[in-house]
Amino acid sequence: MDINTLRDDQCKMSDKIKANEKAISTLVPEQTEHASQLDAKRLRPDRVHDRTDDAEGRVRRNTVQILGVPESVEGRNPTKYFEDWLCTVVAPPKLSEIIVVESVSRVPSKRPIPTAPPKTMVARFLNF
C-alpha cells in the first residue's frame, strides 16, 4: 500500500464521519421531541382515571337505591311500577312530568330466604 491510497481512504472515512455527524445532529432534536411526547403520554393514565371517576360520579348522580320494597310487588315491569309509585307517593303530577325514569331493577343476587329483607331496587333517572 502506498501513502496515496491511505490518504484517499482517510478522506473517504472523514467524509463518512462528517455525513454521520450531520445525520446525528438532525436526529437529536427529534429524539428530545419524542422523549417529551413519551413523558406526556406517561401522564395519561392519571387523566384516564380522572375521566373514569367523573363518569362513575355522573352515573351515581342519576341513580337512586330503594330499600324495603317487598319482593315481586313490581311485577314484570318495575319501571312502570316505580313511575306510578313516584307519582302517587312522592312527586306531585307536574313534577312527575319533569322527572323521567330510565330504568328500574333489583340488585342481582340469589333468591333470598323468606325471612331476609327484600333485595334493593335501583332506579336510574334520565333527568333528575
Per residue in 102-122, pLDDT tens? 889 888 877 767 788 888 888
Domain spanning 62-127: CATH 3.30.70.1820 = yes
Of 18-22, 59-63, 80-84, 94-98, the least confident: 94-98
**Which cell numbers hold the place of 34?**
419524542
Let me know if 44 is exposed, middle or buried by CB neighbors in 10 A (0-12, 13-18, 19+): exposed
Q: How far is CA 3 from the centre of its chain?
A: 71
One-letter amino acid at 99 equals: I
SS3 125: strand
Query: 20-32: buried (b, 16+ CB within 10 Å) or exposed (e) per residue?
Result: eeeeeeeeeeeee
The pLDDT-based confidence of 1 (bands split at 50, 70, 90) is: low
Percent pLDDT > 70 in the chain is 90
For residue 15, what is the enclosing H or E element?
A: helix 3-42
pTM of the model: 0.51
Q: What is the pLDDT of residue 43?
A: 64
Query: E strands along 8-109, which residues?
Result: 63-66, 100-106
For the chain, the average pLDDT equals 81
Comparing 9 with 40, the larger pLDDT belongs to 9
100 in Cβ contact with 125 (< 8 Å): yes
Q: What is the pLDDT of residue 119?
A: 87
Chain position carrying cell 334520565? 126
Backbone phi, then psi, for 113, in 5-degree steps?
Answer: -70, 155
Q: What is the mean pLDDT of residues 1-28?
A: 85
> What are the sequence ranges of the domains in the chain?
3-42, 62-127
Q: Which of 15-19, 41-45, 68-72, 111-115 has the highest mean pLDDT?
A: 15-19
